[in-house]
Amino acid sequence: MSRLTPYLDSFGAILLAVIWIAPLLFAFWAAFHSTSDAVNFTLLSPWTLDNFRTAWEGAPWLQYFLNTFLLVTVVLIGQFILTTLAGFAFAQVKFPGRDVVFILVLLQLFILPEVLIVENYAMISRLGLFDTIVGVGMPYMASAFGIFLMRQAFKSVPIELHEAARIEGCSWFGILIRVYVPLAKPTYLAYALVSVSTHWNNFLWPLIVTNSPDTRPLTVGLSIFGAPENGVDISVISAATLMSIAPLLIAFLVFQRQFVQAFLRAGIK
Amino acid sequence: MSKHANLERRRQAIYGWLLLTPAAILLSTFAFYPSLATLFSSLFSRGTRRNPAEFVGGENYSDLFADPTFWLVVKNNLFYAGITIPVSIFIALAMALWANSKISARGFVRTAYFTPTVLPMIAAANLWLFFYTPGLGVLDQIGALFGLPSVNWLGQPETALWAIIIVTIWKEAGFFMIFYLAALQTIPADLKEAADIEGASRWTYTRRIVLPLLMPTTLFIMVNAMINSVKLIDHLFILTKGGPSDASKLILYYIWEMAFAFFDAPHAAAMTIMVLLVLGIVAAIQFFYIDKRTHYQ
């Protein structure tokens, strides 16, 4: 019995892996076959790119890709600047009220932006940012999670380096840019991967604050494209889905280790 | 000397607040102010052009408590949480134990488990649509091999919520796995050796040594899973839109619908406040309970 255990383990693990990957494999199969071949599982049926052609012509995908790309870039740049400054303040500057403010920031971890959609929508409209990419990205820029992450990273920088830079006559800002930021590079990388994949995939908030193909990100575009009232068939939907997940999926498969490390680092703090 | 120290302290205070200002402004604009504004608008009636909004106290709340749909949605969400949290934790644990053991094709196995994590919920919903579609879908075709009748998984109240639950579990289990995997790799190998020498079975070793050592990770994952059970609703937009007859509607979706389909902001605000209260309780559990129990990690 016990000699069989490793085989049973392998069998169970691989079976679960196959089940887990099956939805993707079926979509892959459907995307490259005509609808009737796809649903009948005609194994030897010819492969085709027609579904991709139909899907591509059915919506302004290039614009959606560009919007998503701009969105994740804007969010990431905003987050890097804001969380670096705030994280540094919490980690290395002593000022009255620091701990109280830090607890307030941590509170935001539980006030999910998703839950405040109604008031944030009102706010974005008031600011005149409705249906702009900056408007989609703005509520996420001062991420409490990012501030926390940066604070932890900056706290682990040896104080001797800080002192040495100060003796050399470096200003506060110079110390931050030349000493702290380079040393926190792994944290920045991890945070960037988590942030990009979060905002590439975000849906509910962009759905609410975008209203035109010029600003709509991929996820919203995909949901409109696949809506039943458009009557597109399963093969075309599969092709569109694969198309929109391809960049992130390929990046993940190539940099898998970095992705997993990034999510871990971000989660375990 | 003390004058110098005083100056330095004042300078630090100014730097500190200057550095914080941009983040503080945005956090106030998009987290703190909206929370207060939500509370405020939950206490007022819906203003129209003829009747401006007026203070109604707890009326929006009592309306909700009298609304059977609200209670159905709460029940659905509790069920959603009650199934997705334990099942995805259990599957994540099994995945991690397997991905950490000496099995063949370990690289493939790990990739397969983790891949759903990087997909958007909307894409996941589209992938699963191919499984659930009546007649043509994969599930029905498999069922047909065994002579089972076609089932409209998304179109009937008994199965719609389950269909939603399965997609959520599929999406989050691999994400939770990596935290277990990381924790498993910190368990010293000599514990396993000692257990082997003592003649402990694998089950005993797992139950008595591994699971207790994983407890802090489990609690961390549990908090994340609780938050997800509020947050992960994107697939509803593709798969069921909360239907049929609200059988798969969840709270955040109902808030969205209330505010952006029925244009009833005050009731949406009242619901939002209740969700924030629940999240506050989760936060309290995290701060006061979990942080105390993780010290031996």
Interface size between A and B, measured as CB pairs under 8 A: 268
Put simply, whether A114 touches B (Cβ < 8 Å) is yes
From A242's Cα to the closest Cα of chain B, the distance in A is 8
| A206, pLDDT greater than 90 | yes
- The highest-confidence range among A93-97, B70-74, B144-148, B276-280, by mean pLDDT, is B70-74
Put simply, whether A16 touches B (Cβ < 8 Å) is yes
Superfamily of domain A60-268: MetI-like (1.10.3720.10)
Q: Do A115 and B279 touch (CB under 8 A)?
A: yes
Residues of chain B above pLDDT 90, percent: 27
User: Span A163-176, mean pLDDT?
Assistant: 85
Of residues B93 and B243, more confidence is placed in B93
Residues of chain A above pLDDT 90, percent: 28
Tell me if B140 sits within 8 A of B134, measured CB to CB.
Answer: yes
User: Span A240-266, mean pLDDT?
Assistant: 85
Summarize pLDDT for B37-58 with one digit per residue, the tens.
999 888 988 877 677 778 888 8
B117 and B19 inside one domain:
no
Please, which pLDDT band fits residue B63 given cuts at 50, 70 and 90?
A: confident
In a domain? residue B269: yes
Put simply, whether A134 touches B (Cβ < 8 Å) is no
B9 and B137 inside one domain:
no
- Within 44-73 of A, beta carbons closer than 8 Å to B belong to none
Q: Do B276 and A9 touch (CB under 8 A)?
A: no
Of B27, B130, B174, the CB nearest to A108: B27
Of B29, B101, B202, the CB nearest to A123: B29
In a domain? residue B52: no
- Pick the residue of A93, A209, A235 with the most B CBs within 10 A to test the interface with B by mutation: A93
B36 and B172 inside one domain:
no
| B292, pLDDT greater than 70 | no
From B66's Cα to the closest Cα of chain A, the distance in A is 22
Contacts of B94 in chain A (CB under 8 A): 12, 16
In a domain? residue B136: yes
B35 and B123 inside one domain:
no
B256 and B203 inside one domain:
yes
Of B15, B22, B118, the CB nearest to A259: B118
ipTM reported for the complex, 2 dp: 0.86
B69 and B203 inside one domain:
yes
Q: What is the pLDDT of residue B118?
A: 86
Query: Can you tell me the distance from the alpha carbon of B212 to that of A107, in angstroms, rounded to the nearest whole number?
Result: 29
Three-class DSSP category at B232: coil
Nearest residue of chain A to residue B95 (CA atoms)? A13
Q: What is the pLDDT of residue B290?
A: 60
From A185's Cα to the closest Cα of chain B, the distance in A is 20
Query: Can you tell me the distance from the alpha carbon of A208 to that of A205, in angstroms, rounded to the nearest whole number?
Result: 5
Nearest residue of chain A to residue B41 (CA atoms)? A119
Of the candidates B222, B181, B180, B188, the one whose C-alpha atom is nearest the C-alpha of residue B205 is B188
Query: Can you tell me the distance from the alpha carbon of B168 to that of A43, in angstroms, rounded to the nearest whole number?
Result: 30
In a domain? residue B117: yes
Put simply, whether A142 touches B (Cβ < 8 Å) is yes
Give me chain B's average pLDDT, please. Answer: 86
Query: Can you tell me the distance from the alpha carbon of A201 to that of A188, in angstroms, rounded to the nearest whole number?
Result: 20
- Pick the residue of A107, A119, A202 with the most B CBs within 10 A to test the interface with B by mutation: A119
Q: Do B26 and A142 touch (CB under 8 A)?
A: yes
B185 and B119 inside one domain:
yes
Q: What is the pLDDT of residue A231?
A: 64
Put simply, whether A164 touches B (Cβ < 8 Å) is no
| A232, pLDDT greater than 70 | no
Of the candidates A259, A261, A75, A88, the one whose C-alpha atom is nearest the C-alpha of residue A174 is A88
Put simply, whether A39 touches B (Cβ < 8 Å) is yes
Domain count, chain B: 2
Tokens (6 digits) for A94: 């002593």
| B294, pLDDT greater than 80 | no
Q: How many CA atoms lie within 13 A of A17 on its CB side?
A: 20
Task: For residue B24, give its domain range.
Answer: 1-41
| B291, pLDDT greater than 70 | no
Of residues B127 and B54, more confidence is placed in B127
Please, which pLDDT band fits residue B171 given cuts at 50, 70 and 90?
A: very high
CA angle B278, B279, B281 (to 5 degrees): 65
Contacts of A219 in chain B (CB under 8 A): 120, 122-123, 234
Summarize pLDDT for A98-152 with one digit per residue, the tens.
888 888 888 888 787 888 899 999 999 999 999 999 999 999 998 888 898 899 8
From B141's Cα to the closest Cα of chain A, the distance in A is 9
Give the count of beta carbons closer than 10 Å to the beta carbon of residue A51.
26
Tell me if B262 sits within 8 A of B271, measured CB to CB.
Answer: no
In a domain? residue B235: yes
Query: Can you tell me the distance from the alpha carbon of B125 to that of B111, in angstroms, rounded to the nearest whole number?
Result: 20
| B88, pLDDT greater than 80 | yes
Of the candidates A133, A181, A191, the one whose C-alpha atom is nearest the C-alpha of residue A157 is A181
Nearest residue of chain B to residue A209 (CA atoms)? B260
Domain borders along chain A are: 60-268
DSSP tag of A228: G
Q: Give, rounded to a whole angstrom, the gap between the first and last alpha carbons of chain A.
A: 42
Query: Can you tell me the distance from the alpha carbon of B55 to that of B49, in angstroms, rounded to the nearest whole number?
Result: 16
- Pick the residue of B46, B97, B103, B172 with the most A CBs within 10 A to test the interface with A by mutation: B103
Query: Can you tell me the distance from the alpha carbon of B243 to that of B245, in angstroms, rounded to the nearest whole number?
Result: 5
| B293, pLDDT greater than 60 | no
Put simply, whether A88 touches B (Cβ < 8 Å) is yes
| B296, pLDDT greater than 50 | no
Residue A66, CA distances (Å) to A73, A77, A127, A204, A238 in order: 10, 16, 24, 19, 21
Give the burial class of A163: count Cβ atoms within 10 A of its Cβ; 0-12 exposed, 13-18 middle, 19 or more buried.
exposed
Summarize pLDDT for B173-222 with one digit per residue, the tens.
988 998 898 888 888 888 888 888 888 888 888 888 888 888 888 888 88
Tokens 């990739």 correspond to B111
B260 and B151 inside one domain:
yes
Strand partners, B55: B44
- Lowest average pLDDT, out of A66-80, B114-128, B277-291, goes to B277-291
Give the torsion through C-alpha atoms of B15, B20, B25, B30, to 10 deg.
Answer: 180
CATH number assigned to the domain comprising residue B230: 1.10.3720.10
Q: Do A20 and B15 touch (CB under 8 A)?
A: no
| B223, pLDDT greater than 50 | yes
Residue A241, CA distances (Å) to A18, A230, B114, B149 in order: 20, 15, 18, 29
B94 and B66 inside one domain:
yes
In a domain? residue B46: no
Query: Can you tell me the distance from the alpha carbon of A158 to that of A162, in angstroms, rounded to the nearest whole number?
Result: 7
Q: What is the pLDDT of residue B168?
A: 94
Of residues A37 and A33, more confidence is placed in A33
B36 and B96 inside one domain:
no
H/E segment holding residue B39: helix B33-41
Nearest residue of chain B to residue A171 (CA atoms)? B15
Amino acid at B5: A
Nearest residue of chain A to residue B281 (CA atoms)? A110
In a domain? residue B47: no
Put simply, whether A26 touches B (Cβ < 8 Å) is yes
In a domain? residue B53: no
| B285, pLDDT greater than 60 | yes
B137 and B7 inside one domain:
no
Q: What is the pLDDT of residue A86?
A: 93
Amino acid at A219: T
Contacts of A245 in chain B (CB under 8 A): 119-120, 123
From A27's Cα to the closest Cα of chain B, the distance in A is 6
B252 and B147 inside one domain:
yes
**What is the DSSP track for A131-143?**
TSHHHHHGGGTS-
Nearest residue of chain B to residue A18 (CA atoms)? B112
Residue A265, CA distances (Å) to A190, A262, B91, B112 in order: 7, 5, 22, 21
Please, which pLDDT band fits residue B297 given cuts at 50, 70 and 90?
A: very low
H/E segment holding residue B36: helix B33-41
Query: Can you tell me the distance from the alpha carbon of A179 to that of B178, in angstroms, rounded to the nearest whole number?
Result: 31
pTM as predicted: 0.88
User: Span B15-20, mean pLDDT?
Assistant: 88
